Structure 1
């Protein structure tokens, strides 16, 4: 059985999700909490927030480049912000995987999967009418950022509870099948 760290990829992302790299995990959580605060609580518009953040970053970068040498008696390093090519390839690969799955679902080869996907999207649409999109995104990010670490810490207790829940759901389904599904008349083919 592989560990949770290996299941999460075993690299820096797994370290962040399991809070082994506390500084990065805290910074990411703080950043998303700040973003959620401005967009949801303060009702700041996304485009305005993005532009104001870029203006502030550019101004601080200019001040650093012009005055760091005078104040700290050293030459500032050149600012070079680029995404690694591997990151871009990963995101494009993820989008392609999603589009491939979407085309497989809509092809009609597996009607059960098609209806499960429709039901899931309908449930998410219904939830979306009652919950703000920013709150939902923040809740998902908060869950992804904290639940793996909590699971790693309390793995045996969580597994015990989940096993009880699964057996309870199986008992409910068996009861549903006996009380309702088995009483539905079936059309039998005649030869």
Structure 2
């Protein structure tokens, strides 16, 4: 019987070293995938130019984005400018430009591209605002935005690079939690009286 280095005892399809970074692999390397995903990381990110930048397939653009974020964070922290007021000014300029473009399109009788519609549930917005308020009370919003940018541009790339290992260890953790949950669930069910269990089954 062959010895496997896989702590999860999962059958691995293909060699890990033969993985192509430029083309997303559709074959699953293990039976367990993080977050139960069925597609590759590149496809989950949209599969376009933005996904290439986030996954460091366009290294110059990714490095440039990190440098711009670092310089902007340093300037905001050192200059004393309010990050929120600068964001409001930028959004106001973008709204004015959008308004001028819409008027220009009407004069030229051209059709504007529709903006993508973002639908969020009320609970999600409330939870996000509450988390931002809690974290914002600890650190500045500029630092929070900078940390979020760095995490957003590094974690997906690291996961894409070490996808097989992360999924393997996540599978081990998932199996252990499942075993413990099953033990706890059986112990709780065993304490329920039989007449209540029969009523529950009915």
TM-score (norm 2): 0.51
Matched, 1:14 2:40: no
Unaligned runs of 5+ in 1: 54-81, 106-116
Unaligned runs of 5+ in 2: 1-25, 27-38, 91-100, 102-111
Q: 1:138 aligns with which of 146, 152, 155?
A: 146
Structure 2 CA distance, aligned partners of 1:41 and 1:179? Answer: 58
Structure 1 CA distance, aligned partners of 2:167 and 2:158? Answer: 12
Q: CA deviation at 1:149?
A: 1.4
More helix per residue: 1
Q: 2:157 aligns with which of 142, 149, 159?
A: 149
Q: CA deviation at 1:3?
A: 2.6
Q: CA deviation at 1:42?
A: 5.3
**With CA pairs under 8 Å and 6+ residues apart, which has the higher RCO, 1 or 2?**
2
Aligned pair count reads 139
Q: Is the 8 A contact 2:83 2:142 kept in 1?
A: no
Q: Which residue of 2 aligns with 1:164?
A: 172
Q: Is the 8 A contact 2:41 2:160 kept in 1?
A: yes
Compared CA separation, residues 48 and 25, structure 1 to 2 (3 A): same
Compared CA separation, residues 132 and 47, structure 1 to 2 (3 A): closer
Structure 1 CA distance, aligned partners of 2:174 and 2:139? Answer: 28
Q: Which residue of 2 aligns with 1:28?
A: 65
Q: CA deviation at 1:16?
A: 0.5
TM-score (norm 1): 0.53
